């Protein structure tokens, strides 16, 4: 039995599903639970770049190490970097943030992405002294 999506949410498009598949292809802490959550989910576009709010029907939280547990980056037609980040809040997939680092409009999403999984060196460490 399928639940009705919350108001304003819809099933992801094939392109959005493909982006999620690429985004979650790298190994990261909590990946199995994130993949389980993304077996049944709905989305809604939340900005001009195509960032998505995620609503999942899965009740099992993901034990991720960082709020942004996996990321993609690739170049737009003008060579400027586009970033795609999966945000997990309180154990649940909540957003796929998409933006161009210089703030200009995205011309075309990259065909080839590079994955990045945040690690301890990614976090800012307090300065000593």
Q: Is 30 left (phi over 0), alpha (psi -120 to 50) or beta?
A: left
Q: How many domains would you assign to the chain?
A: 1
Does a structural domain hold residue 6? no
pLDDT class of 119 with cuts at 50, 70, 90: low
Does a structural domain hold residue 24? yes
Range of the domain at 86: 14-120
pLDDT class of 3 with cuts at 50, 70, 90: low
Q: Distance between CA atoms of 11 and 32, rounded to whole angstroms? A: 21
| pTM listed for this prediction | 0.86
Does a structural domain hold residue 76? yes
| 87-118 confidence digits (pLDDT tens) | 999 999 999 999 999 999 999 999 999 998 87
- Cβ 86 vs Cβ 24: under 8 Å: yes
Does a structural domain hold residue 5? no
Residue 6, pLDDT score: 77
pLDDT over threshold 60, residue 81? yes
pLDDT over threshold 60, residue 11? yes
Residue 124, pLDDT score: 45
Does a structural domain hold residue 60? yes
pLDDT over threshold 60, residue 2? no
Element spanning 53, H or E: strand 52-56
Structure tokens at 17: 């599903």
**CA 32 from centroid of its chain's CA atoms:** 15
Does a structural domain hold residue 125? no
Does a structural domain hold residue 99? yes
| 17-74 confidence digits (pLDDT tens) | 999 999 999 999 999 999 999 999 999 999 999 999 999 999 999 999 889 999 999 9
Does a structural domain hold residue 8? no
Q: Distance between CA atoms of 43 and 33, rounded to whole angstroms? A: 18
């Amino acid at each position: 039995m399928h639940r009705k999506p919350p108001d304003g949410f819809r099933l992801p498009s094939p392109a959005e599903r493909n982006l999620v598949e690429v985004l979650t292809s790298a190994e990261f802490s909590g990946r199995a639970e994130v993949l389980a959550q993304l077996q049944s989910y709905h989305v809604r576009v939340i900005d001009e770049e195509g960032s998505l709010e995620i609503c999942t029907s899965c009740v099992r939280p993901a034990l991720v190490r960082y709020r942004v547990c996996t990321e993609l980056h690739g170049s737009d037609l003008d060579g400027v970097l586009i970033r795609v980040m999966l945000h997990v809040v309180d154990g649940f997939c909540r957003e796929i943030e998409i933006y161009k680092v210089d703030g200009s409009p995205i011309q075309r999403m990259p065909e080839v992405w590079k994955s990045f999984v945040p690690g301890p060196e990614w976090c800012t460490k307090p300065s000593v002294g």
